[in-house]
Chain A
Amino acid sequence: MLKINNLQASIEEKEILKGINLDIKPGEIHAIMGPNGSGKSTLASVLAGRADYEVTGGTVEFMGKDLLELSPEDRAKEGLFLAFQYPVEIPGVSTTNFIKSAVNEKRKYLGLEPLDAAQFLRNMKEKMKLVEIDQSLLSRSLNEGFSGGEKKRNEIFQMAMLEPKLAILDETDSGLDIDALRIVANGVNQLRTKDNAFLVVTHYQRLLDYIVPDFVHVLYKGRIVRSGTKELAKELEVKGYDFIKAEVDQELA
């Protein structure tokens, strides 16, 4: 589904990603962990097509297409979804209206008729239950004045509505209390099928108790320095990132 080969990217002449390799197959959940500043959000942004980042090398194939050739909106419509670490606020645009636009833009791209109001509403009701989000929140301006937890739940709600093939969750767990965390994880687990995949970026192993990954990768200084199963996450929790940092820095030296 997603094949990242030796991906390098920089921002303002500063090299951040220094050769990432990653292969994600349908039905899999991959977790990316790593200390702050290691390049996790950068990787997510580059995959989503943020213009600030310059790809300086490597290739990315998504659903058989050259991802890097696609515009950000086409990547989205091909089925790539990013749950933002810091979702933005858009005053005056109701959340419902926004999601409706997004859903219908995607349908248009796929050659489908736009959903009529009734179908959309039915769909929305169903997905609202999934992430325990309230109607009143959805009639408010997008993310405006939402609490941190509400913003994150709104991201997962949008994911549920858009039914992506690959969802990248960038620290969706940070700033969530244990109940919100459970709700988010529950949403992800219910949306999981054998045809879609998740790339879960997190700083803590806590989330992985709820969303159980098939693979865990450690990103450090712009490279994936360790890959393993969820046992690796457990080990990290006990030992902290320092032991990996020390090992890697020694290897690099």
Chain B
Amino acid sequence: MHEENDDILEQITSSEYKYGFVTDIEADEAPKGLSEDTVRFISAKKNEPAWMLENRLKAYRHWLTMEEPKWPNVEYPPINYQDIIYYSAPKQKIAPDSLDDIDPELRKTFEKLGISLNEQKRLTGVAVDAVIDSVSVATTFKEELSKVGVIFCSMSEAIQDHPELIQKYLGSVVPATDNFFSALNAAVFSDGSFCFIPKGVRCPMELSTYFRINAANTGQFERTLIVAEDEAYVSYLEGCTAPMRDENQLHAAVVEIVAMEKAEVKYSTVQNWYPGDKDGKGGIYNFVTKRGICAGAHAKISWTQVETGSSITWKYPSVILKGDYSIGEFYSVAVTNNFQQADTGTKMVHLGKNTKSRIVSKGISAGKSQNSYRGLVSVAKNAGNARNFSQCDSLLLGDKCGAHTFPYIEVKNNTAVVEHEATTSKIGEDQIFYCNQRGIDTETAVALIVNGFAKEVMNQLPMEFAVEAQKLLAISLEGSVG
């Protein structure tokens, strides 16, 4: 009977990745490999001011002195950094004057991914910055947003048009020296999104960036910066996909969020990079640094992530709770299947008084995958009355996968209350049979149970994306239980 289960398990886990197509488009690429010349090449391509090149070179020189982190609970062959193309841009005018000028092939690509670059087709009230390989190809609703003072544009444009803001905030939350991948990113990042919500403004629509890797052998290094001034509010979404390729591709992004007094930033990610095939071949290495700072009192930053893709994920969206009474939240669903590996979690750093954080992590492992939660809750000496609640639940599908929890707690103030709860459960044959007996087939049953398990996190997603994300969960696990 176990064999029979394994069969069903195998069937469900062998579903196809439906975003795996390649767009045939001419690209403008840097030569393979990384050196100061590569850094200069990228900066020159983007016509950057001298200070920006200087920042990049400093980061690059620092990176040379660093070593790749070895502590995550993941395994992969050494990455040859000289074998990667660091810049690849579709050959078209980099910043088309209007949305009508976008290359039809690119437009089609995004349409195929369900992202409309046509403002008339606006259904969901979401403004999009579309990034392909190393460059942003379009940003929608810029004008409408600028009417209320919201800046939403590609990072390249921001460097040209808002140098004072970029110089002030870029690298202020995640300095280049922070870690190996943030240093690499600071040296070679080519694009990404910038948003700035001025004092007292509630951003009238959801902002989102859609990242697409298309070219082969390239790395994607994007950079996102969100600044919300006093009493500003924004909800931001990030989505991503990549073609199916046999080689692994590196994605090392940095996201920084600054929330001032009483500001609120909600950042949601639906991460669906190509996960590799069912034998573990190919897939994206997703090595990402995401961090926000609640710089003012009563600020709030909330990370929600649904992680289903990538062959390896290494990311810990974090919040530095500097302002008194500030709040940090982390809601995560991480699904691993086949040979995927995920080491993900968060850091909540309580510096201010009466700060609160909440961590809800739901790990779902299937196939031969490994899924680790790694989280740090730290309370500084002066952070009186800090509160944290962490809930880490793991759900196993089958018995060849693994779930691991590494909670780290560092408390230096004895008024802190830090609570941690963890559970591990398995989808049982009894549960599946019960569903079957009610006419619900195994796949639907798994989707039902998994969505039930992940509900608390899914509920945090903006409505438009919740349904998509639910389907994605089901698809990622197709074929994984008996």
A34 interface residue (CB < 8 Å to B): no
B453 interface residue (CB < 8 Å to A): yes
Which chain B residue lies CB-closest to A78?
B439
Q: B438 touching A76 by the CB < 8 A rule?
A: yes
Q: B433 touching A93 by the CB < 8 A rule?
A: no
- Which of A52, A90, A99, A109 is close to B431, meaning CB atoms less than 8 Å apart? A90
A-binding segment of B17-25, B62-70, B208-216, B440-448: B440-448
Query: Quick one: CB contact mask for A71-82 with B, threshold 8 Å, 1 for yes?
Result: 111011100011
Q: B440 touching A73 by the CB < 8 A rule?
A: yes
Q: A92 touching B437 by the CB < 8 A rule?
A: no
Q: Which residues from 178 to 237 on chain A have a C-beta closer than 8 Å to any C-beta of chain B?
A: none
In the complex, what residues of A have CB within 8 A of residue B454's CB?
92
B-binding segment of A100-108, A117-125, A245-253: A100-108
Which chain A residue lies CB-closest to B450?
A92
- Which of B436, B438, B440, B449 is close to A92, meaning CB atoms less than 8 Å apart? B449
B4 interface residue (CB < 8 Å to A): yes
A118 to B453: give the CA distance in the assembly, Å.
27
In the complex, what residues of B have CB within 8 A of residue A98's CB?
435, 438, 448
A127 to B413: give the CA distance in the assembly, Å.
57
In the complex, what residues of B have CB within 8 A of residue A158's CB?
438
Q: B437 touching A90 by the CB < 8 A rule?
A: no
Which residues of A pack against B, CB within 8 Å?
48-52, 71-73, 75-77, 81-82, 84, 87-88, 90-94, 97-99, 101-102, 105-106, 109, 141, 158, 162
Task: Name 29 A/B residue pairs within 8 A (Cβ), A-sorted.
Answer: A48-B433, A50-B433, A51-B4, A51-B5, A52-B429, A72-B433, A73-B440, A76-B436, A76-B438, A77-B439, A88-B428, A88-B431, A90-B431, A90-B449, A91-B452, A91-B453, A92-B451, A92-B452, A93-B451, A93-B452, A98-B435, A98-B448, A101-B440, A101-B448, A102-B439, A105-B438, A105-B444, A109-B439, A141-B452
**Most chain B beta carbons < 10 A, residue from A72, A82, A105, A106:** A72
- Which of A51, A81, A97, A141 is close to B433, meaning CB atoms less than 8 Å apart? A51
Q: A73 touching B448 by the CB < 8 A rule?
A: no
**A73-B436 contact, Cβ under 8 Å, with A51-B4, A101-B444:** yes
Which chain A residue lies CB-closest to B455?
A92
A194 vs chain B, min Cβ distance (A): 24
In the complex, what residues of A have CB within 8 A of residue B425's CB?
91
Chain B interface mostly: helix
In the complex, what residues of A have CB within 8 A of residue B455's CB?
92
A141 to B452: give the CA distance in the assembly, Å.
9
B408 interface residue (CB < 8 Å to A): no
- Which of A72, A94, A109 is close to B436, meaning CB atoms less than 8 Å apart? A72
**A106-B452 contact, Cβ under 8 Å, with A72-B433, A88-B430, A90-B431:** no
A73 to B442: give the CA distance in the assembly, Å.
9
A91 to B454: give the CA distance in the assembly, Å.
11
- Which of A49, A52, A71, A93 is close to B448, meaning CB atoms less than 8 Å apart? A93
Q: How many A-B residue pairs have CB under 8 A?
A: 81
In the complex, what residues of A have CB within 8 A of residue B438's CB?
76, 98-99, 101-102, 105, 158, 162
3 interchain residue pairs of minimum CB distance:
A92-B452, A93-B452, A72-B436
A111 to B60: give the CA distance in the assembly, Å.
63
B434 interface residue (CB < 8 Å to A): yes
A109 to B438: give the CA distance in the assembly, Å.
12
Which chain B residue lies CB-closest to A52?
B1
Which chain A residue lies CB-closest to B8?
A51
In the complex, what residues of B have CB within 8 A of residue A88's CB?
428, 430-431, 434
In the complex, what residues of A have CB within 8 A of residue B436's CB?
49, 71-73, 76
- Which of B1, B5, B434, B453 is close to A87, meaning CB atoms less than 8 Å apart? B434
In the complex, what residues of B have CB within 8 A of residue A71's CB?
436, 441
**A92-B431 contact, Cβ under 8 Å, with A76-B438, A82-B437, A105-B439:** no
A67 vs chain B, min Cβ distance (A): 13
A170 to B436: give the CA distance in the assembly, Å.
17
B310 vs chain A, min Cβ distance (A): 25
A27 to B206: give the CA distance in the assembly, Å.
59
A102 to B439: give the CA distance in the assembly, Å.
6
A90 to B451: give the CA distance in the assembly, Å.
11
A140 to B59: give the CA distance in the assembly, Å.
54
Which chain A residue lies CB-closest to B423?
A91
In the complex, what residues of B have CB within 8 A of residue A99's CB?
438
Q: B441 touching A73 by the CB < 8 A rule?
A: yes
Q: B434 touching A90 by the CB < 8 A rule?
A: yes
- Which of A52, A76, A90 is close to B439, meaning CB atoms less than 8 Å apart? A76
Q: Which residues from 451 to 465 on chain B have a C-beta closer than 8 Å to any C-beta of chain A?
A: 451-455
